[in-house]
Amino acid sequence: MRSLLLLVKISWRNLWRNPRGTALTALALGLGLALLLISLGLLDGGHEQTIADGVRFGPGHVVIEEKGYQDSNSDDLLLPALLVSRVEAFLRTPEMKKIVRGVSPRLLATGLLSSSANSAGVRITGVLAQDEPAVSLIPERIVEGTYLSSDKPSGVVIGSDLAHKLEVKIGSRVVLMTQALRPPGNGTKPGSGDEMQSTLLRVSGIFRTGLQAVDANIIQLPLPAAQTLLGVPDGQVTQVAILLQHEGDSAMVARALRKQLTGEPVEVLTWRESIPMLAQILGLDHAFNYIMNGVVLAMVGLGILNTILMRVLERRYEFGVCKALGLKPRQLAVMVVGESLALTAISLALGLALGLSVEHYFATSGLDLRWIFKAGLPPALVFDPILYSRLSSNRIVWSVGIVFVMATFISFYPALKAARTELPDALKVL
């Protein structure tokens, strides 16, 4: 124990024989850690934001649809009203209420929206005006007029790009034309699905999300109006979109719903299953980021290896003296590893201070990337141009751990070199 304390003392003092070199090496490793923390924070924050926006422009964190809808996208596959009521009742139970932020039944179809000036293909979304704002972002992005309400049964909200194309304003009349749906086995007369239906609507609100795919295609109208137009009986809907307080609960809520709906011909999907492309893009982004971080860490690691190895080679004579005096190879190795660990500890402190400070700034003020997207966001991209960093304590522990393990691992080679100091060669005076 006494000799270990001596070795620790020597290691620590050796570290400060060349303070500038030590400071530079510590800074390099510290910067590596800081970079890792900042990039992981922005990555996680960006992903969290992308998921949050993605699910709110799409089907929520969890969605319930008729079996087969996800693969076929057939608008004829509808959920019975009774099942929707069961789901809503279950999600209103005290334990689920804490987790669930909003539930919105939707009827989806395609149609043609025409004004006196033009017409365009649209994605019809029939929603309940009182439920949709808790799930969708569209009500929050109204830039002109107002969102749907129960006192405007023939109101419709459309995107700004669509409004521009149709040359309509708030209060303008538009005609929505579509084919009546043909839900299987609901007793609807065969062939009724082929009938063209139309209704006159009045533009009550115009939204702008910045996403061309949404702003040019999506329209929202009251669910009863949509059901009437599409000939859907008994309050049937295409999906029930559920938004949760935390994305991390998606799988758990989906499991609970599957259990609740056992035996029903429905599919309960998390956003990873209902928007697989978003999940894949995020996965790819993660992988790319890990590779980039790996490269940065490897470069920093090589720098550290070089520094420690140089320190060891410079002190070959000294190690020879220690060995001649009776220090065992293992003790020499401990001395070098101890020096490296002390250097790593300083570097980690520096890296944490720097990394967490910058991360905190990005977490509160955000990283504004609007200057990159001056010409507008790519149409298929769900992306908020102001990135807010989110760094969990797990990520911090993981990052510190990986840098610590890397630095320790790197010190083994110089330690081995020191341990293998050959006598009497090391004692030769040059």
Partner 1 sequence: MAAEWVVELKDVMKTYRTGPIEVPALRGVSLQIAAGEFAATAGPSGSGKTTLLNIIGGLDRADTGEVWVAGQNLQQLSSGELALLRLQRIGFVFQTYNLLPVLTALENAEFTLLLQGMPARKRRERVAKLFAEIGLAGLEDRRPAELSGGQQQRVAVARAMVTEPTLILADEPTANLDSATAIALLDVMEHLNQTTGTTFIFSTHDPQVMERAHRLIRLRDGRIASDETRDRQAARAAVRGDAG
**Torsion angles phi and psi, residue 234, rounded to 5:** 55, 35
Round to whole Å and give the CA distance between 64 and 128: 16
178: helix, coil or strand?
Answer: strand
Q: Which is nearer to partner 1, 129 or 426 (CB)?
A: 426
Instruction: Write down the least CB distance from residue 416 to partner 1, Å.
Output: 15
Instruction: Write down the least CB distance from residue 333 to partner 1, Å.
Output: 14
- The DSSP H or E segment spanning 103 is strand 100-114
Instruction: Write down the least CB distance from residue 8 to partner 1, Å.
Output: 12
- Of 260, 243, 274, nearest in space to 89 by CA: 260
Q: Which is nearer to partner 1, 308 or 327 (CB)?
A: 327
CB 30 within 8 A of CB 351: yes
- Of 179, 188, 421, 177, nearest in space to 315 by CA: 421
Beta bridge partners of residue 266, listed in sequence order: 66
Q: Which is nearer to partner 1, 15 or 275 (CB)?
A: 15
The distance of Cα 174 from the centroid of its chain, to the nearest Å, equals 38
Round to whole Å and give the CA distance between 53 and 61: 11
Instruction: Write down the least CB distance from residue 317 to partner 1, Å.
Output: 7
CB 341 within 8 A of CB 21: no
Instruction: Write down the least CB distance from residue 404 to partner 1, Å.
Output: 25
Instruction: Write down the least CB distance from residue 244 to partner 1, Å.
Output: 59
Q: Which is nearer to partner 1, 9 or 246 (CB)?
A: 9
Count of beta carbons in the 10 Å neighbourhood of residue 155? 22
Local structure of residue 78 (DSSP, 8 states): -
CB 233 within 8 A of CB 186: yes
Show Cβ contacts of residue 64 under 8 Å, excluding neighbours closer than 6 positions.
Answer: 79, 87, 239, 240, 242, 257, 261, 266, 267, 268, 269
Q: Which is nearer to partner 1, 285 or 318 (CB)?
A: 318
Interface with partner 1 by CB under 8 A: which residues? 2-3, 6, 9-10, 13-14, 17, 317-318, 321-329, 331, 423-424, 427, 429
Q: Which is nearer to partner 1, 240 or 322 (CB)?
A: 322
**Torsion angles phi and psi, residue 375, rounded to 5:** -85, 5
108: helix, coil or strand?
Answer: strand
Pairing of strands 266-270, 62-66: antiparallel
Q: Which is nearer to partner 1, 14 or 270 (CB)?
A: 14
The distance of Cα 70 from the centroid of its chain, to the nearest Å, equals 22
User: What counts of helices (H) and strands (E) characterise the chain?
Assistant: 14, 12
Instruction: Write down the least CB distance from residue 13 to partner 1, Å.
Output: 4
Instruction: Write down the least CB distance from residue 53 to partner 1, Å.
Output: 57
Q: Which is nearer to partner 1, 4 or 117 (CB)?
A: 4
Handedness of CA 272, 278, 284, 290 (dihedral sign): negative
Instruction: Write down the least CB distance from residue 324 to partner 1, Å.
Output: 5
The full 3-state SS of 351-420, as one line of letters, equals: HHHHHHHHHHHHHHCCEECCCCCCCCCCCCCCCCCEECCCCCHHHHHHHHHHHHHHHHHHHHHHHHHHHC
Characterise 88 by phi-psi region: left (phi > 0), alpha (psi -120 to 50), beta (else): alpha
Tokens of 5: 């304390």
Q: Which is nearer to partner 1, 67 or 330 (CB)?
A: 330
Instruction: Write down the least CB distance from residue 281 to partner 1, Å.
Output: 54
Instruction: Write down the least CB distance from residue 325 to partner 1, Å.
Output: 6
Q: Which is nearer to partner 1, 207 or 319 (CB)?
A: 319
Q: Which is nearer to partner 1, 9 or 169 (CB)?
A: 9
